[in-house]
Structure 1
Amino acid sequence: MELQPGREAVVGAAVATLWTDPEAVRPIDRPALATRTDIPAWISGMDSDQQVGDCVLSQLLLGERVLVTELRPDGWAHVVAVEQPAAKLDPRGYPGWLPTDQLVPAEETVPADVAPLVLDASVSALRAAPDGPVVLPGLILGTRLAAAGTARDGWRPVHAPGHAEPLWLPESHLAEPSATPPTAAEVLAVAQRLLDVVYVWGGVTAYGIDCSGLVHLAWRRFGVQLPRDADDQAAATVPLTLGDERPGDLYFFARPGRKIHHIGIVTAEPGSAGDRRMLHACYRRRRVLEEALPAERVATLVGAHRV
């Protein structure tokens, strides 16, 4: 099968970066454009200013579905990331550009009745055999996979898009999706595993992440589909009276007369003096951190919400 406009495809790379435009891609972005992406090399090769360049929109994980809307002869596809809601941009999902080599036609994927699994490790790799050579490095927390048999000596075979034969990863890196919604404490615990990850604009991985990407990924681990951007996340969650927030809820921030620009995850009940704490991917400090809200954050705090 071939990719076709108007039909769905799935991501075949461990992590595919969604770009604003093929012409916006920089020479430094080469590791993120390959069929076998190297996201750690891409991020480490950029300086702090390049890590927040506005050519990146988001990132998609292995097996994530997209709707192909245009194919260019130079190897680029315009897609809508249907699992990353972005109502203000496209009611179908987040639109942007991907290299076509990072996509696999949806018809070549595993049937829907195969037992689903989710990656619970922050980072993992798919191998050709138990403890064998790495075939696909850099799998990210929350990646959905399909079981391809029972475990053997602590290794589990799985189906992966674009690979005819089952691949293997440690059974301890996997979890079965829960039939019940996660607790706020469970989601917060996942987000806390990403402490000190570098801030990357548009990032949704354990190598680099932004504020709304952190929230999106933490909930994605449990199969909950939140929008990709902070203002859309606010619209998709339930407002609370400030003071009623609890760990695992969300803080939103906006400057007067402007739309929401930042989000954090509540890590403690508010103190008697109104002091608050949150976990967030901080643009200013360029990493994920947990802290008391400084004065400049308090000045722009516009609400607390619950998923």
Structure 2
Amino acid sequence: MKKKVIAIVILLALVVSVGIFMFNKNSATKTNANSKQIDFKIKSAFADVDSDMIIENTPKEDTDKKYDYIFVTFSNVVVDTKKDDSSNPLSAKSYTFDNNALPKGTVVTLKDANQVMIELPNGYLKGVNAPHSLKVSKDLKDKDGQTIKDSLEIKLPYSISSTTNSNKQTESNTSTKKENTTDNSQKSDDKKSDNKTSSSSEKLNSTNSDMPKYSVKIMNTVPQTTIVAVTLDSSNPENYKVSVAGSNLELKTSNKGEKVFVGSTDKQYSFDEVNKLIKIEKAK
């Protein structure tokens, strides 16, 4: 009888052990599935002779006499690894500007959890935010030690990473032949869409050729939004209407008495894209 009881106890212990093992295994699998790692990439970057956060080619005035600035936003959280090498997001060795190492006196600090601020000696940008280029080290790592991927050189005054659709993962390994065909068709459609957008930009530039010259300022401080200010080289800007990507800009008077077309889009555009998407027409 005692042997039978002992056997039952051992059997129950084995059942409980197996149950705990399977539970832990399933929990680990769910945790891994839910904590899918995001690729570490550059999201955007812009240059600024001062810290007014207004993006333009040539500012009328440098209101900050301490530094010139470059702001770089990453997809992931970055930290100071305390390493004096090109893997540390807060090391000047991790960046080159216009194909040169950053100058002596450059300070790199955290502006936000995933944004660094590069403080250059005042006057280093030579009074203009463009054209410049910033290159990020291929060895740069995020807080979790993940190495940066994709395009590492960006044009300034303001550029958005070309991999805006990086979160869309293809499922070709598990999809059926029919799904693959659909995916290929979608890629073809995307390509056609890109060509159409390029063609539209060319048409807009052609339309603007008979219109007044203009200067542009943009701000990208609001997510998924581009605030645009366009100043026409005209004594009568009220005789025109200005739009960007189909969004009409409103003519307003600044505190300095300048008449400026101001508005916003529902998408984040680079400085070059905004210039291509501007449409100027005579007011009816």
Specify the TM-score bucket, using the shorter chain as the normaliser: under 0.3
TM-score, normalised on structure 2? 0.23
Higher strand share: 1
- Higher gyration radius (CA): 2
1 or 2, which has the higher helix percentage? Answer: 2
